A = this chain, B = another copy of it.
Amino acid sequence: MKCTKCGGKAVINMPHHNFGLCKEHYLEWVPAQAERFIRKYAMLGKEDKILVAISGGKDSLSLWDILRQLGYRADGLYIDLGIDGGVDYSRVSKEYALRFAEKIDSKLIIVDIFEETGKTIPEWAELDLRGKGKACSVCGLVKRHEMNRIAQRLGYDVLATGHNLDDEAAVLMGNTLNWSGDYLLRQGPVLPEEEGMTKKVKPLFRFYEREMTAYALLRGIEYVYEECPFSKNATSIQYKEVLNQIENAHPGVKHAFYLKFLEAKAGGLFNEKPGIHPVLHPCELCGQPTSAPGLCSFCRMVQKQQKPANIAIHKETQ
């Protein structure tokens, strides 16, 4: 296969776009596409103070790299979840995050969940009912809470996460298998700012996972290869597998699934009348918006253990 732009040797073939690119043109194409999506969906402005959620994996580091290349004001936020899982997962991930921050000479904020809450994610998963054998639910809750807390405290305009098309399509499959109205109505590449809630965007949501892997490799980004040890039996991994099976038989189906969902939503397929959306009010303890009465789910979980969340600590590097 030849590069569609220069006729050189292609390093990646994208059957859904019906073209291939050489290394040089691929490394140009990805940021250019990202910029196109950022504008098309009104995600970011050049004046915005952006906080990128960094896991140490290929997607978040690539996102940070791309945003800096494109001239955005993007700092990183690494949340240390305290996960070992036999592979020293959190420590290794943090190493990659720190090394990359240094390489691109950018600020990385580090939040340590153990210091913040007195327990690691695996410990919370053991204690909390929602953890029952799987830490993902507790972890999601804690990360969403902490990302928003830091963004609000430090005055960031936008939170950016590295979710790619495979991630988003798998979540969409879960939401449709359950027909969760709330989740379907909220799922999208942009969650607008609300009182107490920083705007969230997913600039990579139209890139396939393999495209991001190729980008990180070709760009020489060093990232943690291990998946989180708790994700092994996650349903999202299973949904990714079945979507890949369908994709293999019908290239482009994953892309169409997600894009047509957004189109259908924009075209009025769903009933967005009030009453379907939950009403938000500030948590009595931390002040973050919540649909639960009284405390938000994070504070309720932490308070059950009689140890209020320390909402002040964070460290900064640079």
Contacts and interface: CB of A to CB of B under 8 A. Distances in A.
A317 interface: no
Given A242-B245, A269-B270, A270-B270, A256 B181 contact: no
Contacts of A177: 246, 253, 256-257
Contacts of A271: 268-272
A1 interface: no
Query: Main SS of chain A's interface residues?
Result: helix
A252 to B, nearest CB: 11
A271 B267 CA distance: 10
A176 interface: yes
Nearest to A253: B177
A273 B268 CA distance: 9
Contacts of A181: 264, 267, 269
Interface in A160-177: 176-177
Nearest to A258: B179
Interface in A239-290: 239, 241-242, 245-246, 249-250, 253, 256-257, 260-261, 263-264, 267-273, 276
Interface residues of A, number: 30
A141 to B, nearest CB: 22
A184 interface: yes
A305 interface: no
A306 interface: no
A249 B256 contact: no
Nearest to A250: B235
B256 A246 contact: no
A276 B270 contact: no
B270 A179 contact: no
A69 interface: no
A16 to B, nearest CB: 14
Given A178-B257, A179-B264, A179-B269, 5 more contacts: A177-B256, A177-B257, A178-B260, A179-B257, A270-B271
6 contacts: A178-B260, A238-B245, A242-B245, A269-B270, A269-B271, A269-B276
Interface of A: 176-179, 181, 184, 235, 238-239, 241-242, 245-246, 249-250, 253, 256-257, 260-261, 263-264, 267-273, 276
The 8 closest A-B pairs by CB, nearest first: A179-B264, A179-B260, A242-B242, A271-B271, A181-B269, A176-B176, A177-B257, A179-B261
